Structure 1
Amino acid sequence: MPLQLRQATEADAPACGRIATAAFVDTLSPTLFPPHLNPGPDDEVTWRTQRTARRIREGVPTLVVVETDPDSGKEIAVAGFAQWQKPYPPAGSEEEEKEEVLDAAAKAKKEAEKDPGPPSLDVTVFELAVQIMDEETEKAFGERGYKDMWYLMMLAVDPQFNRRGVGKMLLRWGVDQATADKKDVFLVATPAGRFLYLSAGFKDIWHRTLINVPHTGMLWELPGKEASA
């Protein structure tokens, strides 16, 4: 069946929540929703759905790849999705000066508070993971971290659609946007996605174990940037 890339709407959030949960069920899920907190069968799906919908409402660029019927062209299923964060306003601009200045711990707490989730979500673990990622990124790039880059916040593919190029389509969209903006691209990968990013030209920047899973900060640099600098 053909696959097509399109902008997501809030109506796609439940499918994205299911896909993200299925993609990380054997890696991140057991730590974010540990057995001792008695997670319900739909707790993680609900939390991820709410996060995805909230970001879409806030204007975060969100893309889905959908499978379509070759005869009617109607959509059959959502195969995967990605959410991208655009570069922040330039340093020293009026827009940048209006931003709230927070340290890594405060940023992590603020991020967790946006989507509080059910009691079965281990918020302490989630906040710590976000804090460490922010600290590692600032070590690599300086105080602004990835603010001057396109940042891949989330990419997840329904396991039923693995090895059909869904991840490549979602990743290519962001790289193309960054290229047009003359920007680099940053992301944090788990082992499941790292090969895709390496094959697209990303390079490892840092390695840390977060939420009991190895994570790698990875950078795609705009071709010819040094020559034009």
Structure 2
Amino acid sequence: MSEVVLRDARYSELPEIARVMAKAFWEDNLFGQLIHPHRNEYPDDVHLYWLRRARVNFWDYRWRWLVAVDKDQSGRDVIAGIAQWTRLGDGGKKLERSYLDPRNLLKPLFVVAMKIHAWLWPSRACDPVQEDIVERSYPYFDTIWSGKRAESWYLEGLAVRPDFQGKNIGRKLTRWGLEQAETDGVCASVVSALGKDGFYTKCGFEEQYGNATHGDGNPLAGVEGANIYWKWPKTNP
């Protein structure tokens, strides 16, 4: 195997990316146990959750989809890890090239297409009541990204294939966004999965402020983990 390198993901790689994320979060208390309680009965359905969301968000101009790529013995790219970084605030709006940017049309079209896809091929691994629990929780905690925290590079998702874990791939994908935030003079932020707080603090996130399960009526209430971590820039742009 060669040295792992980072590059932008391609749309054609989304199915493989979805499978990497399904494997990485297989035993996670939220994405594994709560949202996919039937994952062991229907293991081939779990990636559908990630794939449908990826096919929509791939066209959001604020998102950067990064893959950590290795080469197998035949020279074929192997996706070892994936990071989804999102530029929040006014800085995110500036990433839009123009109002005629085709991505502005593609995203709503894919929202409809993926609803049809879910109707035709429902995931038997999911609990249908909990499948959209993350989306329903956003209004209860996304106000944390306001005031001095409004401008941020937010690590929306991070996953490393189980057979590549322990090789600093997750740190490399995380470092990319921390460097972007430092260059822009804004904070970096992440919602930590259960048991991952230590990883993010070692990566450089220095402040814990807020939790994605808090707020009266939050459907995530009672779910363990979900602390929100921040790293502040040393310099201003």
Tell me the equivalent position of 1:217. 228
Task: State the Cα RMSD in Å.
Answer: 3.4
The partner residue of 1:187 within 165, 186, 190 is 190
- Per-residue displacement from partner, 1:120-178 (whole Å, max 9, x unpaired)? 4345435444444542342x454x69542111111100011111011011111111111
Name the amino acid aligned to 2:57: R
Distance apart, 1:55 and its partner CA:
1.9
Is the alpha carbon distance of 1:222 and 1:44 closer, same or farther for their aligned partners in structure 2, counting shifts above 3 Å?
A: same
TM-score (normalizing by structure 2): 0.71
Alignment partner of 1:19: what SS?
helix
Identity of aligned residues (%): 24
Tell me the equivalent position of 2:59. 57
2:18 is equivalent to residue 13 of structure 1: no
Tell me the equivalent position of 1:201. 204
Is the alpha carbon distance of 1:145 and 1:49 closer, same or farther for their aligned partners in structure 2, counting shifts above 3 Å?
A: farther
Aligned length: 204
Q: Which runs of 5+ in 1 are unaligned?
A: 99-111
Tell me the equivalent position of 2:103. none
144-153 or 49-58: bigger deviation: 144-153
Separation in 2 of the partners of 1:127 and 1:157? Answer: 23
Separation in 2 of the partners of 1:39 and 1:57? Answer: 32
TM-score (normalizing by structure 1): 0.74
40-49 or 204-213: bigger deviation: 204-213
Q: Which runs of 5+ in 2 are unaligned?
A: 100-110, 214-219
Correspondence 1:86-105 to 2 at 5 A? 86-89=87-90
Separation in 2 of the partners of 1:124 and 1:221? Answer: 37
8 Å CA contact 1:64, 1:82 repeated in 2:
yes
Distance apart, 1:199 and its partner CA:
0.7
Correspondence 1:45-84 to 2 at 5 A? 45-59=47-61, 60-68=63-71, 74-84=75-85
Tell me the equivalent position of 2:104. none
15-24 or 212-221: bigger deviation: 212-221
